Amino acid sequence: MDYFLTEEQTMIRDLCRQIAEEKIRPQSAELDEKEEFPWEIIKVLGQSDMFRIFIEEKYGGTGGGVFEFSIATEELSRACAGVAIGYAGTALGAYPIMMFGSEEQKKKYLPDIASGKRLAAFALTESAAGSDAAAIQVSAKKEGEHYIINGTKQWITNGGEAEIYVVFAVTNRSRGARGISAFIVEKGTKGFDFGKKEKKLGIRASATRELVFTDCKIPEENLLNREGMGFPIVMATLDKSRPGIAAQAVGIAQGALDLTVEYAKKREQFGNPITAFQGIQFMLADMATQIEAARALTYAVCREIDRGAKKISKDSAMAKLFASDMAMKVTIDCVQIFGGYGYMKDYPIEKYMRDAKITQIYEGTNQIQRSIIAAKLIKENAGKNKAG
Amino acid sequence: MNIIVCIKQVPETTEVRIDPQTNTLIREGIASIINPFDMYAIEEAIRLKEQQGGQVTAITMGPPQAESALRQAVALGVDRAVLLSDRAFAGADTWATSYTLAAAIKKLGAFDLIICGKQASDGDTAQVGPGISVHLNIPQITYVKKIEEINIDNIRVERMTEEGFEIISSPLPCLLSVVKEINEPRLPSLKGMIKAKKIELINWSNNDLNIDGDKTGLDGSLTQVIKIFTPPPRRGGQIFEGEIHHSVDKLVDLLKKDIT
């Protein structure tokens, strides 16, 4: 389908496709098996300006938005969703600085992120604070011109590999969600260590680690925006980043379908390629249609966000919800079409199924997405009744 | 550092098909790319620029569509691109090609280094690079696999030979032809691609270069292609077993028969 991409968006798509095919696909099975962080590929992405595309020009970017970023993420995910999230995790870490940082903070951190010199990470989740993000325990205590951070973050994407972390911590426990603040913490700061690297079902090329803060002292200028702004920063960041997860899901599903069509054409049973059977044809047709529907929704939301729409929570949640559920369903069916071969690690398709699962879980589980959508829907409806 | 890279647009295939009637390449249905060996030359030039500063100019002689090869070079990080295109240049052999390229390089002004790929994947002659250096009367070092050291006056490189490598120093300016062992070419950057779309190429015809007609194109070529063909595959060899002197006798007999 023609989505009338701009010339620059087309270049991003083509370039990422080239990187995916030439640099990622040949390595993806090995990266998955060894759970290796793909530094070599990240370097290529940096050289190709892919970290610039979501950052303003005055900070070394090319001035693109969520759409440009999502196009890149989709293409990279077609070859390996694990590599793609190493890339996308940096955007997630950069968004809070882009949206809420001071001029000094933007000047200090964004150019290095744009050039690919330093990766970023977004540190919200804790062992007891997942969907209930306001339940975080990591604390930041003001002492003179510093904050002292204590506690442990869990499952942080790019943990240990990134150098710039946006960390959410409680500054005033009595105020609940309004007592959370966001801080920029750099790797190498005394009292900031990394815990174990998690072993995962999918996206195994990405790094997921604990961040451990022990009396970690950071200067007060590392506070993002002002005290108590943590929760609004989380919400605004995730509203903006969710289309990226939707794009990742679309990429995973498309990558899996591409391999499946190719396989089905070659696989013969009962004297015919299995594409001759209507049962297989209908599965392929359904998958292609679902993918295109998810892509269309994702692109529409990206464009809406980039044009400056204010109320994006519902639409952004819809894209993430629909695309990730679609990716799970499609990749399961792809494995089904591969049959016994699909269940074997010798074939690349089972990885897509393992990778797809996370898109239903992270950056807000799909249950949370439904809550967001329902809450907005009901609120909109209430407004209508009043007006009527 | 002012670096010039000479590139060629070639068909994207390792199996070049030749029209037996006209003895020319069949180009229909085959995409055009930068000669793969020239990609190493471009990469090395860009790396040198990144280390030393300066600018890289890519130059090619070819039909108007060779413009796309130059734009691709710009996307990789080349600063200036020169297209030499003129009907008068058509049909040039390696002598006329290197003469024309040398004339354009002279017109560009002062330079420190010229880098070429070791050969083109279609013609496979490996003569144009060395030819340019002769026309410009500068030193040449072929089959370079590593630049060990470079400063404004001198260069020291490792040069591949069949048995190993040589270390050679030369004053600058000089010409290098490079082999694939020298680096791993990068992919283009987005900024480069945007620049490549917009950049104005330097287009020079024979008039701009002021070369005598009898030194360019088919008329200026010292060699002429009589016939191009795919050589028949080599037949398997023969192994003589048994006593060594018997084998030698048999071999000598066979060779004698072959000659007569």
The ranges assigned to domains in chain A are 7-119, 121-228, 231-380
Cβ of B190 and A44 within 8 Å?
Answer: no
CB contacts of B192 in chain A (<8 Å) are 49
In a domain, B184, yes or no: yes
Chain segment A97-115, per-residue pLDDT in tens: 999 999 999 999 999 999 9
Q: Is B62 part of a structural domain of the chain? A: yes
Q: Does A363 touch chain B (CB under 8 A)?
A: no
The pLDDT value given to residue B12 = 84
Distance between CA A255 and CA A81 in Å, rounded? 10
Which CATH number covers residue B91? Answer: 3.40.50.620
B241 within a domain of the structure (yes/no): no
Q: Is A18 on the interface with B (CB under 8 A)?
A: yes
Q: What is the pTM of this model?
A: 0.88
What distance in Å separates residue B43's CA from the closest CA in chain A? 13
Q: Which residues of A are identified as catalytic?
A: 363
Name the closest residue on chain B to residue A40, using Cα atoms: B186
- Structural domain includes residue B97: yes
Identify the contact set of chain B against chain A, taking CB-CB distances under 8 A: 186-194, 197
Q: Count CB atoms within 10 A of the CB of residue A77.
A: 35
- CATH architecture assignment, domain A231-380: Up-down Bundle (1.20)
What is the reported pLDDT for A386? Answer: 62
Give how far B23 is from chain A: nearest CA, Å. Answer: 35
**How high is the pLDDT of residue B107?**
95
Going by pLDDT thresholds of 50, 70 and 90, the confidence category of residue A384 is confident
In chain B, the number of structural domains is 1
pLDDT of residue B226: 80
Write down the CATH number for the domain with range A7-119. 1.10.540.10
**CB–CB of B197 and A52 under 8 A?**
no
Closest partner CB to A47 (pick from B186, B193, B197):
B186
Q: So what's the pLDDT on residue A291?
A: 98
CB pair distance less than 8 Å for B187 and A8: no
Region label for B175, one of left (φ > 0), alpha (ψ between -120 and 50) or beta (otherwise): beta
pLDDT digits (tens, 9 = 90+) for A129-186: 988 888 999 999 999 999 999 999 999 999 999 999 999 999 999 999 999 999 999 9
Which structural domain range is residue B123 located in?
2-220
Nearest to A48 among B190, B194, B197 (CB): B190
For residue B257, being part of any structural domain is answered with no
Q: What percent of chain A has pLDDT over 90?
A: 96
Of B189, B194, B197, the CB nearest to A48: B189
Q: What is the mean pLDDT of residues A273-290?
A: 98
pLDDT of amino acid A385: 65
Question: Would residue B252 count as lying in a domain?
Answer: no
Question: Which amino acid, one-letter code, is at A17?
Answer: R
Distance between CA atoms of A222 and A105, rounded to whole angstroms? 8
Q: Which residues of chain B are within 8 Å of residue A19 when distances are taken between CB atoms?
A: 187
pLDDT at B14: 67
Helix (H, G, I), strand (E, B) or coil at A18: helix
Cβ–Cβ of B190/A47 closer than 8 Å? no
- Provide CATH code, domain A121-228: 2.40.110.10
B189, B194, B197 ranked by CB distance to A47: nearest: B189
Q: Do A15 and B188 touch (CB under 8 A)?
A: yes
Check A11 against B186: CB less than 8 A apart: no
Q: Is residue B8 part of a domain?
A: yes
- Chain A residues within an 8 Å CB radius of B190: 8, 11-12, 15, 48-50, 52-53, 62
